[in-house]
């Protein structure tokens, strides 16, 4: 374990929030602060490999009511990389299965003197409800189709690392926009930092109503691919759909999968991103997912840095 760099010994001035619930309510300055702190942690921990003592004595609980691989694991590792204790909660083996409410469960866990609660829940607004009723810090790890702020931050951090800036770039979010919390967080964050955002997919998944958020709406990937600097390929979330939004997966892949042919028409330095899990052959073909322009695994690594920053900022702001 190494010592915390002097510039990280106190929280940056622009950050005063005890909770991280969304990117919609954050200012451009706050988003930039979170990105800067994440970058510093990435460097200080030698690409997220070594431990710091930044949060020694802090206890964080992962309260996940939906399945997760990347987010849950990276929050757990992020806490440990900063010297904190991380506790895992399993809904299936808890008193929730006996009828206990979310708030009663959260208050029970908080009474064990924890400092931060990371929650993923199927219901939009669940983290906000806990933040209003708990004394500990709350971080939203995804609330239904509403927002996923740390995913939005890690996506933006990845773009900034490879392009130097976000301002002026054209970023397309392609796929299941209707059910995507990642899309919403990306839209808020990217727009505030000066990017031009396009949402693209079948009309059943990409309504013209998205234009009210100041983004461009397209239903034709071939029409926009040549002017995009970044493509973020979002998974089709069948688990949140009640009816099939297109005739077949094969037809979707034909119209919207990023493949070798579309790469030939794209900019030479285009970034290919995906929040994961990726469905090879549906949103993206294997040769593109594993190609030189793909930064998908960079996103995973940046998830550790962003979640270290999130835990650090909210817990330091509460002291």
Provide the annotated binding site.
70-71, 98, 120, 148, 151, 181, 235, 276-277
CA–CA distance, 198 with 45 (Å, rounded to integer): 35
* CB burial of residue 7 (10 Å; 0-12, 13-18, 19+): exposed
* CB burial of residue 161 (10 Å; 0-12, 13-18, 19+): middle
CA atoms within 13 A on the CB side of 214: 10
Q: What's the chain's length in residues?
A: 319
CA dihedral 206, 212, 216, 217 (to 10 degrees): 20
CA–CA distance, 39 with 35 (Å, rounded to integer): 6
Report whether 153 contacts 211 (CB < 8 A).
Answer: no
CA–CA distance, 79 with 112 (Å, rounded to integer): 18
Give the residue numbers of the binding site for L-aspartate. Answer: 98, 181, 235
CA–CA distance, 32 with 47 (Å, rounded to integer): 20
Give the residue numbers of the binding site for carbamoyl phosphate. Answer: 70-71, 120, 148, 151, 276-277
């Amino acid at each position: 374990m190494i010592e915390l760099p002097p510039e990280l010994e106190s929280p940056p001035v622009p950050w005063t929030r005890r909770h991280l619930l969304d990117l919609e309510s954050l200012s451009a300055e706050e988003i930039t602060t979170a990105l800067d702190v994440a970058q510093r942690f990435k460097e200080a921990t030698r690409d997220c490999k070594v431990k710091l003592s930044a949060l020694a004595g802090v206890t964080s609980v992962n309260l996940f009511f939906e399945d997760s691989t990347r987010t849950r694991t990276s929050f757990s590792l992020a806490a440990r990389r900063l010297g904190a204790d991380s506790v895992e909660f399993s809904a299936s083996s808890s008193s929730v299965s006996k009828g206990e409410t979310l708030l009663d469960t959260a208050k029970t866990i908080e009474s064990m003197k924890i400092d931060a609660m990371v929650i993923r829940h199927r219901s939009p607004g669940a983290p906000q409800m806990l933040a209003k009723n708990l004394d500990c810090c709350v971080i939203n790890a995804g609330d239904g189709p509403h927002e996923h702020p740390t995913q939005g931050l890690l996506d933006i951090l990845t773009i900034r690392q490879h392009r130097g800036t976000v301002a002026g770039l054209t970023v397309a979010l392609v796929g299941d926009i209707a059910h995507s919390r990642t899309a919403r967080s990306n839209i808020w964050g990217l727009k505030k930092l000066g990017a031009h955002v396009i949402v693209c997919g079948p009309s059943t998944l990409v309504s013209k109503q998205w234009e009210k958020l100041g983004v461009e709406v397209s239903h034709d990937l071939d029409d926009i691919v040549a002017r995009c600097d970044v493509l973020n390929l979002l998974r089709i979330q069948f688990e949140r759909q009640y009816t099939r939004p297109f005739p077949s997966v094969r037809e979707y892949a034909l119209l919207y999968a990023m493949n070798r042919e579309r790469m030939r028409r794209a900019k030479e330095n285009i970034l290919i991103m995906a929040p994961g899990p990726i469905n090879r052959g549906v949103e993206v073909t294997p040769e593109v997912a594993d190609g030189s322009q793909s930064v998908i695994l960079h996103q995973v690594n940046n998830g550790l840095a962003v979640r270290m920053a999130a835990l650090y900022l909210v817990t330091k702001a509460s002291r």
